[in-house]
């Protein structure tokens, strides 16, 4: 079995650290005296520097050291945290990412400029030379020449420490930086040579340290390994003259003597709470579960035709277990959408600086869980929507004051689950969509004929047409008419739909309705003519019977009365051109997307069906009525209906009939 590339593991962990650093910096902007956030940013920079050095990213470690030093000075109260410092470290964070992605690239000039900016932010006391990564020990000794204390440290790390990315040499080097120390290795735990695993760590250490630093500085060295290691720190009398830094071989007599018993901060066999799994392995497992669901469906069909009671019993057990496995697999793939929303704090911060607008980003429903594939594909569409809201929607502070609005414009990102869908909303309190401008642009582009009647939603949906833009000039943010087109294509690829609500002078709300998962769904299997089709069960409201007489009476208007409301319906037999006679008792399946409903007339409702979604071939991408296909238990293919598209067809028919009436 192949193992993950250590460099790739570092890059994954570094990405998480950079995200934590960015989040801490943005949180710090709300309260520049928040010590918890200052400490969090410092710890992130400290860990990134150490890990980078361990994996050979020396330029990253050298550059990150300066940011760490700046926040260390803030942490110690030597300088104050300022918005200029936060801005400088945010820019430095992007440079750190570049040093990780392209460690062999030429980043020197950029690094020097960023360090100069960092130097200015902390009052000109930080070095602007990347190579000066570690302050000299002599300087430290001159700075802390008085008030020294002595400590004896006895510690051992877990056996698997190095495999998990912990560098014991780095810990020892950090202890050296605190003052004078004598380090002795303890090899008493080494196993016989024929049992030795080169990847395991069996050495312990005894460190006699003389330092003027507080005890907290020693604890900080072990802050990230404290839970799993054995550590004893005893204060001893400091010698008048510190011993030179030497490394002596330990005797095999056992653990060196010390006062007290070494205290374990955590059990060595402590189980990990989280396991990192590559995304492609989850995808592969999902494919296997899908194949299992198809095989189970075949088994159920065979069992239904058999009179063998044990076979039926086994079939029912397999059906139950496969459903439970499917649900568990779905839960593994679900991730909170908050990790997607978190990316936009930095975007809004940068756009605020670029546009001069005061922007307040509000996020709601961050704990809503969505399939990881949906999260991956929603990033770009949401970026375009947020940028569009800021550029087109929000007014400048002066305009907002003149209108009696708060100076800070508000952009709200929210998510909530509704049945089998997640509804993601981007809302702003800006100027709203100017319908006259949209109409004029559409007529000038030939999309709409002068005088043509359009429903309000149809008019608003024109902003998603390729090349459509009402911007007076092209800016770095918008104006080329490509952003909203990307949004529409991406959402449709996810089998989702877009709703728009806008009021002049009040603001706009754009809602994306996306299926929770793109892999396996519960479906309603129906027959239309001789073909079988699947309707996503999460969209089904109810099923009604449509007799031949009612079908005949509704010709020309295609409406059914449902609890004092008229619901348009579509005869799928005609839409699919089955060329078959209608059944004596047809059925109407009422489906909905949000507040919009439509009835789908089918010949027979077969029953529920666990549906493994297979992508349509490129030859069938233009067939808008279907979002995918699935394999039935008998090996035949059933197409999965695109409910959003069918509801849209029904609403268009309703609008046409109302206009004609």
Taking only the tens place, the pLDDT of each residue in 380-434 is 889 889 988 888 889 999 999 999 999 999 999 999 987 677 889 999 999 998 8
Taking only the tens place, the pLDDT of each residue in 42-88 is 888 988 887 887 788 888 888 888 888 888 888 888 888 898 899 89
* 472 domain-assigned: yes
pLDDT of residue 406: 92
Q: Do 352 and 498 belong together in one domain?
A: yes
Residues 130 and 110: beta-carbon distance below 8 Å: no
Domain total in the chain: 5
With 50 as the cut, is the pLDDT of residue 262 above it?
no
Q: Give percent of the chain with pLDDT exceeding 70.
A: 82
Least confident of 93-107, 523-537, 640-654: 640-654
Taking only the tens place, the pLDDT of each residue in 352-382 is 888 889 999 999 998 888 888 888 888 888 9
With 50 as the cut, is the pLDDT of residue 547 above it?
yes
Q: Do 315 and 346 belong together in one domain?
A: no
Could you give phi then psi for residue 543, rounded to 5 degrees? -125, 135
Q: Do 301 and 399 belong together in one domain?
A: no
Cα 520 from Cα 142, distance rounded (Å)? 67
Q: Name residue, tokens 């739909």.
A: 497
With 50 as the cut, is the pLDDT of residue 651 above it?
yes
Q: Which helix (H) or strand (E) holds 304?
A: helix 279-305
List the one residue out of 237, 234, 229, 240 whose CA is nearest residue 268: 229
Q: Do 40 and 75 belong together in one domain?
A: yes
* 229 domain-assigned: yes
pLDDT of residue 526: 93
With 70 as the cut, is the pLDDT of residue 181 above it?
yes
Residue where a domain stops, chosen among 515, 530, 565: 515
Residues 473 and 461: beta-carbon distance below 8 Å: no
Residues 306 and 255: beta-carbon distance below 8 Å: no
Average pLDDT, the chain: 79
* 271 domain-assigned: no
With 50 as the cut, is the pLDDT of residue 248 above it?
no
* 265 domain-assigned: no
- Residue 513 β-bridge partners: 423, 497
Q: Do 344 and 489 belong together in one domain?
A: yes
Residue where a domain stops, chosen among 498, 515, 532: 515
* 273 domain-assigned: no
With 70 as the cut, is the pLDDT of residue 584 above it?
yes
Residue 63 in 3-state DSSP? helix
CATH of the domain at 252: 3.30.70
Q: Do 365 and 379 belong together in one domain?
A: yes
Q: List the structure tokens of 257.
A: 């003597």
Residue 610 in 3-state DSSP? strand
CATH of the domain at 129: 1.20.120.160
Q: Do 118 and 155 belong together in one domain?
A: no
pLDDT of residue 427: 94
pLDDT of residue 317: 92
Q: Give percent of the chain with pLDDT exceeding 90.
A: 10
Q: What is the DSSP letter of 626?
A: E
Q: List the structure tokens of 168.
A: 């014991």
* 457 domain-assigned: yes
With 70 as the cut, is the pLDDT of residue 96 above it?
yes
Cα 318 from Cα 331, distance rounded (Å)? 20
Residue 235: domain span: 139-260
Q: Do 322 and 345 belong together in one domain?
A: no
Q: Do 383 and 461 belong together in one domain?
A: yes
310: Cβ contacts below 8 Å, ≥ 6 apart = none
pLDDT of residue 656: 65
* 266 domain-assigned: no
Residue where a domain stops, chosen among 335, 352, 367: 335
Could you give phi then psi for residue 36, rounded to 5 degrees? -60, -40
* 550 domain-assigned: yes
With 80 as the cut, is the pLDDT of residue 278 above it?
no
Cα 41 from Cα 570, distance rounded (Å)? 58
Region 593-615 average pLDDT: 82
Region 201-207 average pLDDT: 89
């Amino acid at each position: 079995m192949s193992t993950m590339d250590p460099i790739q593991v570092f890059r994954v962990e570094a990405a998480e650290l950079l995200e934590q650093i960015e989040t801490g910096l943005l949180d710090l902007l709300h309260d520049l005296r928040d010590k918890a956030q200052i400490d969090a940013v410092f710890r992130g920079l400290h860990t990134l520097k150490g890990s980078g050095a361990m994996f050979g990213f020396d330029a990253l470690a050298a550059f990150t050291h300066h940011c760490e030093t700046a926040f260390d000075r803030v942490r110690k109260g030597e300088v104050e945290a300022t918005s200029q410092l936060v801005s400088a470290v945010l820019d430095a964070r992007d440079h750190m990412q570049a040093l990780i992605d392209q460690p062999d690239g030429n980043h020197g000039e950029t690094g020097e400029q960023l360090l100069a900016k960092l130097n200015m932010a902390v009052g000109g006391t930080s070095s602007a030379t990347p190579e000066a990564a570690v302050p000299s020990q002599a300087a430290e000794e001159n700075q802390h020449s008085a008030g020294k204390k002595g400590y004896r440290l006895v510690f051992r790390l877990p056996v698997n420490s190095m495999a998990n990315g912990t560098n014991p040499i780095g810990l020892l080097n950090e202890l050296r930086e605190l003052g004078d120390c004598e380090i002795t290795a303890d090899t008493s735990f080494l196993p016989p040579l024929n049992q030795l695993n080169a990847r395991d760590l069996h050495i312990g250490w005894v460190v006699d340290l003389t330092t003027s630093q507080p005890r907290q500085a020693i604890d900080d060295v072990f802050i990230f390994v404290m839970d799993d290691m054995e550590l004893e720190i005893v204060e001893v009398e400091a010698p008048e003259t510190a011993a030179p830094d030497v490394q002596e071989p330990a005797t095999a007599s056992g653990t060196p003597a010390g006062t007290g018993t070494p205290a374990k901060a955590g059990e060595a066999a402590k189980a990990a709470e989280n396991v990192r799994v590559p995304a492609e392995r989850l995808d592969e497992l999902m494919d296997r579960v899908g194949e299992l669901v198809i095989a189970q469906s075949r088994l159920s069909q065979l069992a239904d035709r058999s009179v063998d009671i044990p076979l039926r019993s086994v079939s029912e057990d397999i059906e139950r277990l496969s459903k439970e496995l499917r649900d568990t697999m779905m839960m593994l793939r679900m991730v909170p959408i908050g990790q997607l929303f978190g990316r936009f704090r930095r975007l809004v911060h940068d756009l605020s600086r670029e546009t001069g607008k005061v922007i307040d980003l509000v996020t709601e429903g961050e704990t809503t869980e969505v399939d990881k594939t949906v999260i991956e594909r929603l990033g770009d569409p949401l970026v375009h929507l947020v940028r569009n809201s800021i550029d087109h929607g929000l007014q400048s502070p002066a305009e907002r004051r003149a209108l009696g609005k708060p100076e800070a414009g508000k952009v709200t990102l929210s998510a909530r689950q509704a049945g089998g869908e997640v509804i993601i909303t981007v809302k702003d309190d800006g100027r709203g969509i100017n319908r006259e401008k949209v109409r004029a642009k559409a007529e000038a582009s030939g999309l709409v004929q002068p005088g043509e009647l359009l429903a309000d939603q149809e008019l608003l949906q024109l902003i998603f047409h390729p090349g459509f833009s009402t911007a007076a000039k092209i800016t770095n943010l918008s104006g080329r008419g490509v952003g909203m087109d990307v949004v529409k294509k991406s959402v449709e690829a996810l089998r989702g739909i877009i709703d728009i609500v806008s009021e002049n002078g009040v603001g706009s709300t754009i809602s994306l309705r996306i299926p929770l998962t793109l892999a396996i769904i519960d479906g309603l299997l129906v027959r239309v003519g001789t073909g079988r089709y699947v309707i996503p069960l999460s969209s089904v409201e109810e099923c009604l019977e449509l007799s031949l007489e009612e079908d005949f009476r509704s010709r020309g208007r295609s409406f059914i009365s449902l609890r004092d409301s008229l619901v348009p319906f579509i005869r799928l037999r005609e839409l699919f051109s089955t060329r078959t006679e209608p059944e004596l008792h047809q059925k109407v399946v009422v489906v909905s997307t949000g507040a919009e409903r439509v009835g789908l007339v089918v010949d027979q409702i077969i029953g529920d069906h666990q549906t493994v979604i297979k992508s349509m071939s490129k030859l069938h991408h233009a067939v808008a009525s279907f979002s995918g296909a699935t394999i039935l238990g008998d090996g035949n293919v059933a197409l999965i209906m695109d409910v959003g598209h069918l509801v849209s067809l029904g609403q268009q028919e309703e609008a046409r009939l109302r206009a004609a009436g």
